[in-house]
Amino acid sequence: MEYRYGRRYYQSAVSPEPPEKSGKEVMSKGSSGMEVILASLENTRDVPTTLNILYILSELLTVGRGRRVGVFVSKGGTGILFQILIGASKELPPSEELMLQLHSLLAKVGPKDRKFGVKARLSGALNVTVNLTKQNLQNTKLLLPCLQVLRVYSTNSVNAISLGKNGVVEIMFKIVSPYSKKNTSLLKVALDALGALLKSKTNARRAVDGGHVHILLALYQDWHRNDTRHRHMLIRKGLLVCLRNITNIKLGRKAFIDADGMRILYNSSTECLPVRTLDPLINTSSLIMRKCFPKNRLPLPTIKSAFHYQLPHIPAAGPVAQLYSQPPGGRKILQLCDRPLKKVDDVVDESDNEETDADTENDTENEEDEKDQNTANDDIETDLNKLHPKKNPGRPFEELRVYERFFLELSEDFQGYNFESSKSASTTSSSFSSSRIATQQKDSPPAGSISSHSCSPLTPLELDTIHLTKDQEAHIPSPDTQQEGALNSGQGGRGLKQDGSPVNATRHIQSPLLLGGIATRRVEGGSGSNLGSECGSEDTALLLPLHDPDLYVEMVKGTHSVPQYAEVAYPDYFGHVPPTFREPLQERVYGVQRSKIFQDIERLIHPNDIVDKVVYDLDIPSCPVVEDDGESLKFNSQFESGNLRKAVQVRKYEYDLVLNSDINSNHYHQWFYFEVSGMRVGATYRFNIINSEKSNSQFNYGTDICYYKNHFARSSIAAGGQKGKSYYTMTFSTSFSHKDDVCYFAYHYPYTYSTLKMHLSKLEAYRTPHIYLRQDVLCETLGGNSCPLLTITAMPESNSNDHICQFRNRPLIFLSARVHPGETNASWVMKGTLEFLMGSSPLAGSLRESYIFKIVPMLNPDGVVNGNHRCSLSGEDLNRQWQNPNLELHPTIYHTKSLLQYLAHIQRAPLVYCDYHGHSRKKNVFMYGCSVKETVWQSNISATSSDLQEDLGYRALPKILSQIAPAFSMGSCSFVVERSKESTARVVVWREIGVQRSYTMESTLCGCDQGKYKLKTGGSD
Ligand SMILES: [Zn+2]
């Protein structure tokens, strides 16, 4: 009766106008309509009036897209509702209608009130709703709003625990089971509430203890079987969400496995696959199965690198020191003390993990990028003192004087040259024969001749004043290649030299060599050491002018690797010919990741398919161990830059691969390079690199390749102290079209140290009488390899005082590359740079006449030789050692920095410094530079205008590049100085040497999505 009366009253009061309009009036700006209503509600003591006001509110809040609910909440409406609720609960029995209306309203405003959960708990409303629910389990009309309110309560984690204690988890289970299609809306709300409650570990444990994992799985199966027309997807999803949250705890995962959850979810998901609308079910199932897949250790005796290099001394702190403080590992030491190394690899299913929020059903596509953005601000250098370049050479000149020998061009006087005879020789300057080089070398001046010229320094040329037209007449023989005078890093007995290692280049080849699935060239027949000249060295010479297979083998003989490699990989032997077509830029293809993950789960579902046979293992001295029964592929990576530690045949055509970590390290797995043979023609093989570490990767793009988190646990040591991290699988499939083939797979086109030596040697052939090219050995590396230093400029026109002065006063441009061994593209870009600078184009000539180029083409030869991804032999990232490089541990950095310090001392700091890198995720080519202004702008620090005085020159070079180089993207450049980068070449050369134009140049490992080189996207079907 009261209800009807109220309804009528309300209708008569507003009936002349449509309710919508009057509602607007009540809510309009300046109107205190809502306040009036709430005040009346608060002050009303009798149930009928309260109900009337609640009806009005209910109508009012139903329209208006939630904006009104916002006003209601902001005016304190929620609190008033809770007050009334508490008051009403004290009446015995409480008014059912009042309870119904109150809960309906609370259910409506709850999701819009961020403090809802706290308000409910503090007011004591939780218990009122819980008791009401318990008393009305059969009263659907009242039960529904109660469950809706409980659902909102439960999203607050403190409430969830308290509700669990009060038996709400059990109540929800009672409501959702057994299977019944009656009252599905109630069921849906109960499942949502239950899902929220189970986010609490205590509740999840309660559910496991109550045997509910089994019940949930049975229910899920019932719904799966009976919901044939897929009308109740949300209920099925709700059940999965409950399972997902329970399996966040270890106990839950165990219960799930014990209840045969893997098989149940696998089978149901497989049946859902054809129905696209059921994707949410498949994705959540997949997430649960991945989580519950028993965590494993990597199949290794230790995660420390398989190869160990004895350092002259151990750094005091840092990753290497940490590694050394652990029990010994690595192949060599293992042979001495043969005991398991548990402490290094303390990995089991160690966590009740909470990563589900980040690791949602959707692929973690932008995880890393987001992380980058989040940390970017914390990482900005805010110390103005550090932002201002010091130009402090830091070392006494006496110590630096020794580097004078690398700058002969600054004192050269060319008095011994016959400029006339070199002019006459110019007629044949276009042919590059080795005999010609030999004659030139005889004409070379004595090294280090002392200058008698006195030159006043010229103004350095600006970048944009490069003259394109120049007199081409002066042809002068060039100085000799100088291989002596390398700076020794100081230590004596490095026991790892190898002399005249037997190089195996006599293998029989019949099929095309494959690199990353692309046929690089086809080689028919032929064997023996003259293989290179026999099979197509002519087109090799044409396509790869700097390549020479025989010379390559010679170079390999002088290269020193820790594992003492004695083989040569065919792709490096024959040279890398790029594909004639442009590969499309791959797109992320729907369902690829899922199907690969399902194949992984099938390992548990169909254990009979599992072969589990180790076919390659560096940790076993007799590796490789595979017998040739034709049932397994043969693997090999024991050649320069090779990186494969172990291969396990999992199923007939599937292999798990483990990459070696960088030497003296226990992580950095990304670069790979290995050989496969013994394949069956036509079969599709799947390869899984199971110890990748990056959370996202370009490998997620494509149909045959994908990347996902796997079930191999990472020890906290290898994960930088974080517990419960997993490795990632990079998986790809391929089939082979030729019998008895030898195929190679690599992260990117390899570029070995021996390749560099070969290219540098062949570069001599580009020398003309115009070109001044000098090759020095800067120093020896820890591993006994020499670090080349190149000087390229133009010869002076004559030995007249003016010409010699112009020659000596050319500004210097300092380039370096390949500090990170895995970024092989940096070497290919460097090769292009060298070819260009040595080339015959007018622009190259003009550059040589304007500048002196000093180039360290490979800052980390040891890392490259040994197949590292990031580090040198000391297990450290050399591009984090520039602030304080150690003479013994980081000789290449120490001496390169010294060269720059020397230049700063003699007031000849380079105009430009640029270090070449490769970027694994971003497209195009771009630069990082250093600017005080742009760093300050990005941070909150206050700076005076004098602090911000800065020449804008640092932007000129990237700007010019963006205008003339189609691959260059100005938009990707950054000029912010980050704290985490303070010991990189770019920042140290800027800050300490005072080079304003100091850059890191990043080239994409994937491709371009702009300009002339823009790749078509494709690959999706
Ligand atoms: Zn790099």
- Per DSSP, the residues of 188-207 read HHHHHHHHHHTTSHHHHHHH
288 CA distance to ligand 1 middle (Å): 36
Label residue 678 by pLDDT band (50, 70, 90): very high
Contacts of 786 (CB under 8 A, 6+ apart): 486, 777, 778, 779, 780, 861
Cα R_g (the chain), whole angstroms = 36
Paired with 774 in beta bridges are: 791
Q: How far apart are CA 466 and CA 191, in angstroms?
A: 72
1002 CA distance to ligand 1 middle (Å): 8
Helical spans, DSSP H, in 227-330: 233-246, 250-258, 261-272, 279-292, 319-324
Residue 458 in this model has a pLDDT that exceeds 50: no
Label residue 539 by pLDDT band (50, 70, 90): low
Residue 80 in this model has a pLDDT that exceeds 80: yes
pLDDT in tens, 696-726: 666 766 667 888 888 888 877 766 667 778 8
- Report whether 252 contacts 246 (CB < 8 A): yes
What was the pLDDT predicted at 393? 53
1000 CA distance to ligand 1 middle (Å): 9
Instruction: Please give the structure tokens belonging to residue 151.
Output: 């659902």
Mean of the pLDDT values across residues 547-560? Answer: 94
935 CA distance to ligand 1 middle (Å): 21
Residues classed as catalytic: 1002
914 CA distance to ligand 1 middle (Å): 12
- Quote the mean pLDDT of the chain: 80
Sheet strands side by side (includes 786-794): 771-780, 786-794, 852-856, 812-817, 912-919, 997-1004, 925-928
pTM of this prediction? 0.78
639 CA distance to ligand 1 middle (Å): 23
pLDDT in tens, 602-624: 999 999 999 999 999 998 877 65
Lowest-pLDDT range, 491-505, 579-593, 626-640, 922-936? Answer: 491-505
Q: How far apart are CA 196 and CA 429, in angstroms?
A: 80
- The sign of the dihedral angle between the CA atoms of 971, 972, 975, 979 is positive
Q: Tell me which residue of 728, 725, 727 sits closest to 354, measured CA to CA.
A: 725
Label residue 381 by pLDDT band (50, 70, 90): confident
Give me the amino acid identity at 205. Answer: R
Mean of the pLDDT values across residues 214-233? Answer: 95
918 CA distance to ligand 1 middle (Å): 6
Residue listed under structure tokens 């006195």: 454
- Per DSSP, the residues of 468-496 read ---------PPPPP----PBP-S----TT
Residue 881 in this model has a pLDDT that exceeds 70: yes
Q: How far apart are CA 437 and CA 612, in angstroms?
A: 57
Q: How far apart are CA 94 and CA 84, in angstroms?
A: 11
What was the pLDDT predicted at 446? 38
Q: How far apart are CA 336 and CA 712, in angstroms?
A: 28
What was the pLDDT predicted at 592? 84
883 CA distance to ligand 1 middle (Å): 17
Q: DSSP secondary-structure letter at 530? A: T
Paired with 17 in beta bridges are: none
- Report whether 664 contacts 620 (CB < 8 A): no
Label residue 325 by pLDDT band (50, 70, 90): low
Mean of the pLDDT values across residues 324-342? Answer: 41
What was the pLDDT predicted at 93? 83
879 CA distance to ligand 1 middle (Å): 8
pLDDT in tens, 785-820: 999 999 999 999 998 999 999 999 999 999 999 999
Give me the amino acid identity at 927. Answer: M
- Report whether 778 contacts 896 (CB < 8 A): yes
Residue 363 in this model has a pLDDT that exceeds 90: no
Q: Which residues are placed with Cβ below 5 angstroms of ligand 1, an ion?
A: 820, 823, 917
Proportion of the chain above pLDDT 70, given as a percent: 76
